[in-house]
Structure 1
């Protein structure tokens, strides 16, 4: 099962990153943190990877409602959105929502059998 879905853009990295941030905040997401994976791998492991930024995106209203149903949802927050250089442009990916259980009173809180069939268990 794919853990994410995304799209390719011919924009350069900085432009794709700025557009992704603007799109997320324009839709009500906060970005409480961002990880520069390229620098982290280089500085801590001596490795070399293309430019990659991981944005932690969280919709506060949704997070509060989901947390009220099941505190375990905190394990999934914030959701990751990745911007990475690839083949003359950038790939922008987000977590596949079908990999996560439904956080509703009728959902995974009471019975794992009511999760979507694509729920990885």
Structure 2
């Protein structure tokens, strides 16, 4: 079973996809709390070159509030990461499947919340 929700956008500029992803996430109630430019980090820390690769830490505050309310330590697994990476012929968007990641926690209420988050993330990835 896949642990991500994926889509490849063909023949596009990486930075254009980044802007579109951020806007679509906002349209679906998510803010970007963190950003890691993996390409730049690998070059700086290891002097290694790689294709563009960025991790966006996306959060829907209302759903995060609900999740923390039913499982206080769930914050260790937040936010929902969305990656953008250059692939042959385009840019791939991959968002974590929150249901898959939350199966490590035995809490049915949390899984229900994660399902709602997955639905929104899935809609967002499709909308890019």
TM score, norm. by length of structure 1: 0.81
Gaps (5+ residues) in structure 1?
117-121
Higher RCO (Cα < 8 Å, 6 or more apart):
2
Secondary structure of the 1:61 match is helix
Deviation of residue 71 (structure 1)?
Answer: 1.2
Partner of residue 3, structure 1: 3
Larger Rg over CA atoms: 1
Gaps (5+ residues) in structure 2?
113-128
Secondary structure of the 2:102 match is coil
The alignment status of 1:44 with 2:45, answered yes or no, reads yes
Distance 1:78 1:37 in 2: 17
Q: Alignment length, in residue pairs?
A: 108
Q: Deviations over 1:37-68 (max 9, x none)?
A: 00001101111110011000000000001101
After TM superposition, the runs of 4+ consecutive aligned structure 1 residues lying more than 6 A away are none
